[in-house]
A and B are shown apart, each in its own frame.
Chain A
Amino acid sequence: MGEFEVHRVRFFGLVPAGVRCLACQPRGPRLALARTDGAVEVYNFAVNYFQEKVIPGHDSRSVEALCWAAGDRLFGAGLNGEVTEYDLARLCAARSIDGCGGPIWSMAANSNGTQLAIGCEDGSVKLFQVVPGGIEFERNLDRRKGRILCLSWHPSDTHIAAGSIDTLRVLDVSSGQTVQRIMVNYHTQKAKRECIVWSIAFLSSGTIVTSDSFGRVQFWDREQETLLESHTVSTSAVLSLAVSEEEDSIIVGTSTGATYQFQLLPVKAGSLQKRWVRTKPFQHHTHDVRAVAHSSTALISGGLDAQLVIRPLMEKMQKKGYDAVLRKFTFPHRRLVSCARKARLLLFQFSQHLELWRLGSTDETGKDGEVLPLCRMPEHLVQLKSKGPEHIYCSSVSPCGSWVAYSTASRFHLYRVQYEGNGVSVKKVPKMPKLLLPAYQLQFSSDSSSLFVASARGSVHVLQLLEPGGCKHQHRLRPPSGSPEAVYLLASSADGHWVAAVSGDWAIHIYNLKCFKHHCSVPTYNCAVTAVAIHPVTNNLVIAYSDQQLFEFSIPKKQYTAWSRTVQSCGLHRMWLERDSPITHITFNPKNPSHILLHDIYMFCVLDKSLPLPDNSALLMNQGTLKQLPETARKRQLHAFKICKKFQPLLFADLLDENCLVMVERPIIDIKTQLPLPIQQKKFGT
């Protein structure tokens, strides 16, 4: 594997925002997630739960509810009182329409996705028609006092159940009248506290399921207005509830971080009488579980601790494999850190600011595993705050460290950073050329002479950087066939000849920078690309896909390399394929051209192309055993994958020079200390 001097960076103070709501695409593979800072993310189940799209948040645009309508259109509604449609190709908010009912707490689409109902602060339920190019206000339903916190359509689209404080209502869609009004708290005497119906579901059998702030999950009969069953699952509030499509399973999330599954089970074998039974409890979260979703094979929950937990239902799994593993996502599937190799700077991207740090250094050497004392501490050089309510899409620092660029939804900023002794001066580059905004990815060329800006419609802008502090729009690269999707990954070659761009439809286009022409495109592979990089010596493009496959594509020859074909014919190790987080960054060692350095959240890997690939019988993580073997035996055991799991969770790893690595970690425990205290629970024995 070779020995490296490692900068173990733990000063990236990223705190991911909590999960606010979740929405499964009906009959589709996607899951939309909204965070408390207003960011919306789309995960694709079909490609190993890869975080496909990220729409950064906006200060004035909180998202309280998300829903899919008319197939693949995503709508969000929030406390600013607007219903927003998201453009998933351009990754921005497309259109907003005011609901005229004050803050919107809830939104639900009917079963065929043609109508949206929103529940407002003023107690009204409004219907919107989903039309091509937007939504149109249709009508108001019966307005009563009390904010509508949750909504659910009956699967036949004739009625809507709306949950409010202390009551739940059933509204007739055609007449717009309140058909039923059920006092949730009627049965209990402790009416001193108000009972908030946090979540509601309307089943096709006419049963209404509510979850409330008293920790109850209650089943109501709509016709009789009677309570069928009441399950107290928690001493604190039950915040969220989701029903499976077959309506035989319910997941609820509580404010203690626990989620519970309810199942509709036959009372006796073969009899028709069925009952809801609370079955499995899960405790994956430490804080409020604000959102749950029920896909056909998994229970999905998102909490204020920023975790998205996908818990597969074992009984629905046909075979053991990638899908049958519990997975937790805390960090985004893309990099928030960029590194200036020569200047030894790190740029950290937060939602609304950037931090530029200089790495510490040491003049001592030591043995394997030793911690070297620093002679110069890492230094926080600059904090750049983005102005306005918009959150940052992407950022980058040039390899020489003198340029910093970032983009928000509507603005693009380029800064010239100058280092004078101990001081640092940051100067904004004026007169930026008009670009197609926002930029989704920024990449400086290795000689810091130009900047590549990933943009919408598959295009890449090339900006020439001018000394001292100027820039010029040089060219716009576009795929020959055109593309509706935005480019989200860029890679440039070290010699400045090539740039590769990956757009949202997972097509990889390679452009020649000498003549600014489309060179070729990589044959499409039916999976999301998670990382690309161009080898500095051979100009091979290395591609990592979300199903953990690795490809190497020779740009000059416009074909896959021999090694890549070997990998495909032999297949990768089973353990490698079953890893649950995508490769987020690829880099190379210029001194050792056969090495590829890759990392995901949980491991760092040096892939040595000169060594044989391991077969499934071999141990994938064999570094520990190799150390104990004598030299001759070690030779026989060597294989291509050299994996290090010492640094976790690993947000970024890069090679500064041939024997110096930088690893950026963000320990979960540090995030936990930044979060508010969880609900105090008495724990037995403490």
Chain B
Amino acid sequence: LYSSSLDGSIKLWDFMDGILIKTFTVGSKLLALYTPASFEDSVFVVVPKSGERDTFQLVSVKLTKAAGQDLEAKELSVILDSVNASPKCIAFGREGEYVASVNEVNLQVYFFKRKQLNRFSLSAAKTKSGNNHFMCIACHPTEDCIATGHADGKIRLWRNFHHKKEYTFSTLHWHHDAVMDLAFSVQGTSLLSGGVESVIVLWRNESEHQRDFLPRLGSAIEYISVSPDGTLCCTLHTDNRITIINSNLRFSRSIQGLIKSTNVKTGLVVDPRTKALVLNGEPGHLQFYCLQSDQQLFSLDIVQRQYIHQAGLNQTDLVKVAFSAQGEWLATVEEREEVTDPELQLKLWFYDEETQSFKLNTRISMPHEDHITDMCFRYMDEVEDESLILVTTGSDCVFKVWAMVEDTDPEGKYAQQSVSWSCDFVGSYHNYQATNCCFSEDGSLLAVSFEETVTVWDSLTWDLKCTFCYSPGKIRNICFGRLTCSKYLIGATDHGFLCCWNLLSCALEWSAYLNVVVLQPDPLSEHIAAISWLSKDSSLFVFKPNEPRPIYIQRNFCKEKIQLAAFVPREEPETVGSAKYLWLRRSQLFFLTATQELITLSTKSLEERLTPSSKQLAVEESLPVTPFSLLLGKHRRHQSQEDIDLGKRVVCNKPEQDSPAVKELLHTPAHVLPSASFLCPVFINSLLISKENTSAEEVADAVEMESEETEDDSDEERDVTEMEQEDTSPMELLGEITCKLSKSQEKELRKLRKMDYSWISAF
């Protein structure tokens, strides 16, 4: 099992044990790695061409058999010039006889035996049916046939490419948009293709008329791969999901974490009932994502319209979500982007205890004339349901208060529906656009920001109490303090000021110069987290409103812009040693970055997390699971050392950290699992061994490995997240890179899973 990384090294792993065997240093950035089975001692990598930007070459690297951990691979030979950096654009042909690469409108085929390079190019002219640029390539496993996918949705099957002139191709056309990936079945009798349409197409016998479809896969297909035994294929989707499909094109199962939606407009909201993170999921859906189990609890269809899988269409999507305090009411806003007038709908959902799901209660079309900017419920713990109030602010310069009313017409058509929502009050301030709204903790006060001004309203009489203004700059965020600090109102402005007003004295308490992008109060404590964005990286500040000094600062923890943050209450308060992390006692902070990676802050060090408690393990699920797999791997090595011949396993790539193997173990029914008494000593043993024998080394090794793995993953996904994980700081940031498996990784999933089963049975 080889892996390559952007820092220019190829690593050889034993993927069963999860240990690093060798490291080869190449020197330049490695963007893609290929290990065709017929080349025993060399691998192929895509590297940028020295001296030129955006040109890449395919290079074969001879891996020496010399002993030692760190080796330098010097024997490089350039095979193809000007290739595409995407791993989909190079494929190795039948038994490694040739390699084919596509870039823009050129196809290059290099024959290893004859050392001959053939180039074919299509006309670059954009025809009326779109452009014919190459998107992806696949080679027939047994015949000399290359399939290429094009941006106009065509698939071309090239044959006879041994001859420079007498080559020929045939065309298959079903996709209306670009073909994202192609895969041949193991025997080569059928070809699978997928694209934006989220339909997998099975072409039989390369015939235009014999094709089968598996539609409604949820979202656009990015990668397709077929298992080596041909029984399964899996697809990776843009929304961060893997679908496993039987060979008879029947949906088998899907592996899904957090759904990556194109644009998280709703923000991170915590469902008070399930403590799940709620955000945009599939288009028009709301996903409830359980952080503890890294699973989607359910997906609520808000828009209730057919989503058309086509690029460039304006389709209705969900923009705002708010929960009432107990979570029995859910308010959603959906809108369709139109240049002239947006289509808006406000929907209110009631949680139905019987069906355990939300039921649509009221639908209000065009609640505002323009975009809705913010929405919140009044927090009220004591008062009854009837006084529940929802406030929406819009770009049409007003905020509206919506209240529940009893249905006055019990005889009417909707007799069974006793309550509905209607507009109660419309407020405005100097014809400024309302941008944010926020209720104080006891619900008595409502703060609404109008561009540069914050207004505070009495929520009973809807009188304007007072206004605060701290120019310059428009108000970006506002929030009230909690508990002991409830007399404070915090606001962040565009021009980089964080202000705190005292509501009793109606005066500015303090202000700080800080470019705050996210302001998030902890619902269970008085702490407020502010995330600032300074040119290149984000910093986290945690403070209490009553004192201008932050109690915790974590600078430059993320290179990307943090878009959203949320405090998720813990199930039970954690014991935190250091006073510095007291604010994390009762809830955990999660961030969502621009590339939709979910990051959390944790207080525990790695050693602590290795304690083998079952609860701990369950929690670990949401964190990288490699330590656990490491344990298992070690345990296996103790059991049967002679079985493993290290270094002989040459497999394309490494399993993803979120490997289903561990899940599989955890979800395996108890009767299949070995007895707890058997497992426990193993865990303890492994710990003991690591402590006794080579404790320092082993742990360091493990830690290093883990970091490398995370790094590696991120490299392969080309989302560079430099996670400093094993550093000296006891505070640890765990990058929970929501799994976006690359193609080769997927390939291994099946293999890995099978093997896991086998060794479980070996117990």
Chain A residues engaging chain B, CB cutoff 8 angstroms: 215, 231-233, 235, 261, 263, 265-269, 277-281, 314-315, 684-685
* Given A279-B169, A281-B170: A266 touches B208 (CB 8 Å cut-off): no
Asked if B169 and A232 sit within 8 Å, CB to CB, the answer is no
Output the nearest chain A residue to B162 by Cβ-Cβ distance: A269
CB-CB < 8 A to B170: which residues of A? 277-281
Contact indicator A279/B159 (Cβ below 8 Å): yes
A268 touches B159 (CB 8 A): no
For A280, the chain B residues whose CB sits under 8 A away are: 168-170
A–B Cβ pairs within 8 angstroms, 13 of them: A232-B207, A232-B210, A233-B209, A235-B209, A261-B168, A263-B160, A265-B168, A266-B160, A277-B170, A278-B206, A280-B168, A281-B170, A684-B176
State the B residues within 8 Å of A (CB): 94, 97, 142-144, 157, 159-160, 162-163, 165-171, 176, 206-210
- Quick one: closest A residue to B165, CB to CB? A315
Distance A280 CA – B169 CA, assembled complex (angstroms): 6
Verify A281–B207 contact, CB threshold 8 A: no
Known: A267-B144, A269-B97, A279-B168. 12 other contacts (CB 8 A): A215-B209, A231-B207, A263-B159, A268-B143, A268-B144, A269-B162, A278-B170, A279-B169, A279-B170, A280-B169, A280-B170, A314-B165
The complex places the Cα of A679 from the Cα of B348 at a distance, in Å, of: 52
Measured in the bound complex, the distance between the Cα atoms of B206 and A233 in whole Å is 11
The chain B residue with its CB closest to the CB of A318 is B165
How far apart are B656's CB and chain A's nearest CB, in angstroms? 35
Interface centre among A215, A232, A268 (most CB of B within 10 A): A268
Asked whether A265 and B160 contact (CB < 8 A) given A281-B170, A315-B165, A315-B166, the answer is yes
Closest to B163 in A: A315
Say whether B159 contacts A265, CB under 8 Å: yes
Question: How long is the Cα–Cα vector from A278 to B209 in the complex, in angstroms?
Answer: 12
Give A335 Cβ to nearest chain B Cβ, in Å.
Answer: 35
Q: Which residues of B contact A269 (CB under 8 A)?
A: 97, 144, 162
Question: Chain A residue with minimal CB distance to B94?
Answer: A268
Residue of B at shortest CB range from A275? B143
Task: Enumerate chain B residues within 8 angstroms of A215, measured Cβ to Cβ.
Answer: 209
Query: Do residues B143 and A263 form an inter-chain contact, with CB atoms below 8 A?
Result: no
Residue of B nearest to A270 (CB): B162
Residues of A within 8 A of B206 (CB): 277-278
Q: Point out the residues of chain B lying under 8 angstroms from A233, CB to CB.
A: 208-209
Shortest Cβ distance from residue A235 to the other chain B in the assembled complex, whole angstroms: 7
| Min CB gap A364→B, angstroms | 40
Q: A232-B209, A263-B160, A269-B162 are in contact. Are A315 and B144 (CB under 8 A)?
A: no
CA separation between A231 and B172, bound complex, in Å? 13
Chain B residues positioned under 8 Å from A235 (CB to CB) = 209
Nearest neighbor of B111 in chain A, beta-carbon distance: A269
The answer to whether A277 and B165 touch across the interface, beta carbons within 8 angstroms, is: no
In whole Å, how far is B121's beta carbon from the nearest beta carbon of chain A? 13
Q: Which residues of A contact B166 (CB under 8 A)?
A: 315
**CB-nearest residue of chain B relative to A234?**
B209
For the complex, give the distance between the alpha carbons of A349 and B477 in Å.
84
A314 to B120, CA, bound (A): 13
The docked-state distance in angstroms from the alpha carbon of A268 to that of B143 is: 5
Q: In the complex, what residue of chain B is closest to A261 when comparing beta carbons?
A: B168
Cross-interface CB contact of B143 among A267, A314, A685, cutoff 8 Å: A267
Complex Cα gap A285–B162 (Å): 32
Contacts of B176 in A (CB 8 A): 684-685
User: Bound complex: CA of A232 vs CA of B172, how far in Å?
Assistant: 13
User: Residues of B contacting A232 with CB < 8 Å?
Assistant: 207-210
Assembly CA distance A268 to B94 (angstroms): 9
A281 and B144 in contact (CB under 8 A), knowing A263-B160, A315-B166? no
Q: How far is the CA of A517 from the CA of B165 in the complex (A)?
A: 57
Distance A454 CA – B142 CA, assembled complex (angstroms): 66
Bound together, the chains give a CA A261 to CA B166 distance in angstroms of 14
Determine the residue in chain B with the shortest Cβ distance to A229. Answer: B205
Question: Measured between alpha carbons, how far is A279 from B207 in the docked complex, in Å?
Answer: 10
The 7 A-B residue pairs whose C-beta atoms are closest, nearest first, are A232-B209, A315-B166, A279-B168, A315-B165, A279-B170, A267-B143, A269-B162
Most chain A CB within 10 A, of B166, B169, B171, B206, is at B166
Q: Which residues of A contact B207 (CB under 8 A)?
A: 231-232, 278
CA–CA, A92 to B451, complex, Å?
93
Closest Cβ of chain B to A318, distance in Å, is 10
- Residue contact B160 to A281, C-beta cutoff 8 Å: no
- Tell me the minimal C-beta distance from B671 to chain A in angstroms: 49
**Which single residue of chain B is at the shortest CB-CB distance from A314?**
B165
A281 to chain B: closest residue by CB: B171
Contacts of A265 in B (CB 8 A): 159-160, 168
User: Distance in Å from the Cβ of B24 to the closest Cβ of chain A?
Assistant: 32
Which residue of B142, B159, B171, B209 contacts A277 across the interface (Cβ within 8 Å)? Answer: B159
Contacts of A279 in B (CB 8 A): 159, 168-170
Residues of A within 8 A of B208 (CB): 232-233, 278
Q: How far is the CA of A672 from the CA of B433 in the complex (A)?
A: 60
Q: What separation, in Å, do the CA atoms of A235 and B166 have in the docked complex?
A: 29
A685 (CB) vs chain B CBs: closest residue:
B176
> Which of B143, B157, B167, B210 is in CB contact (< 8 Å) with A315?
B167
Complex Cα spacing A277 to B162, Å = 16
Give every chain A residue within 8 A of B142 (Cβ-Cβ): 267-268
In the bound complex, residues from chain A placing their C-beta under 8 Å from that of B160 are: 263, 265-266
Distance in angstroms from A271 CB to nearest chain B CB is: 9
Closest residue on chain A to residue B98 by CB atoms: A269
Bound together, the chains give a CA A233 to CA B157 distance in angstroms of 15
Docked pose: A232 CA to B169 CA in angstroms? 17
With most chain A CB atoms within 10 A of its CB, the pick from B142, B162, B168 is: B168
Chain A residue with minimal CB distance to B143?
A267
Chain A residues within an 8 Å CB radius of B168: 261, 263, 265, 277, 279-280, 315
Q: Please name the residue on chain A nearest to B159 by beta carbon.
A: A265
State the CA gap A266–B94 with chains docked (Å): 14
* CB closest chain-B residue, reference A278: B170
A315 to B168, CA, bound (A): 9
For B144, give its contact among A261, A266, A684 (CB under 8 Å): A266
Cα-based distance from A280 to B168 in the complex (angstroms): 7
CB B99 to nearest CB in A, in angstroms, measures: 14
Tell me how far the C-beta of B759 lies from the nearest C-beta in chain A, rounded to whole angstroms.
39
B165 / chain A contacts, CB cutoff of 8 Å: 314-315
Whole-angstrom distance from the CB of A130 to the nearest CB of chain B? Answer: 37
Closest chain A residue, CB of each to CB of B170: A279
Give the docked Cα–Cα distance between A661 and B423 (Å). Answer: 78
C-alpha spacing A235/B176, complex, angstroms: 20
The closest CB in chain A to the CB of B176 belongs to A684
Residues of A within 8 A of B163 (CB): 315
Tell me the smallest distance from the CB of A681 to a CB of chain B, in Å. Answer: 13
A216 to chain B, nearest CB (A): 9
Task: Give chain A nearest CB distance to B197 CB in angstroms.
Answer: 12
Question: How near does chain A come to B204, taking the closest CB pair, in angstroms?
Answer: 11
Name which residue of chain A comes closest to B209, CB basis.
Answer: A232
Shortest Cβ distance from A260 into B: residue:
B170
> Which B residues touch A281, using CB under 8 A?
170-171
Report B718 CB to chain A, min CB distance, Å.
Answer: 33
What is the bound-complex CA distance between A46 and B94, given in angstroms? 43
A298 to chain B, nearest CB (A): 15
- Nearest Cβ on chain A to B697's Cβ, whole angstroms: 51
Q: How long is the Cα–Cα vector from A279 to B160 in the complex, in angstroms? A: 11
Alpha-carbon gap, A277 to B166, bound state (A)? 14
Chain A residues near B162: list those with CB within 8 A.
Answer: 269
- Name B188's closest neighbour in chain A (CB-CB): A267
Chain A: CB-nearest residue to B174: A684
Least CB distance, A231 to chain B, in whole angstroms: 6
Inter-chain CA distance A235–B143, complex, in Å, is 28
Report the separation of the CA atoms of residues A314 and B209 in the bound assembly, to the nearest whole angstrom: 27
A231 and B205 CA atoms in complex are apart in Å by: 9
Question: How many Å lie between the Cα of A266 and that of B159 in the bound state?
Answer: 9
Q: Point out the residues of chain B lying under 8 angstroms from A684, CB to CB.
A: 176
Contacts of B97 in A (CB 8 A): 269
Contacts of B167 in A (CB 8 A): 315
A263–B207 CA distance with the chains assembled, in angstroms: 14
Contact residues in B for A315 (Cβ distance below 8 Å): 163, 165-168
List the B side residues contacting A267 at CB < 8 Å: 142-144
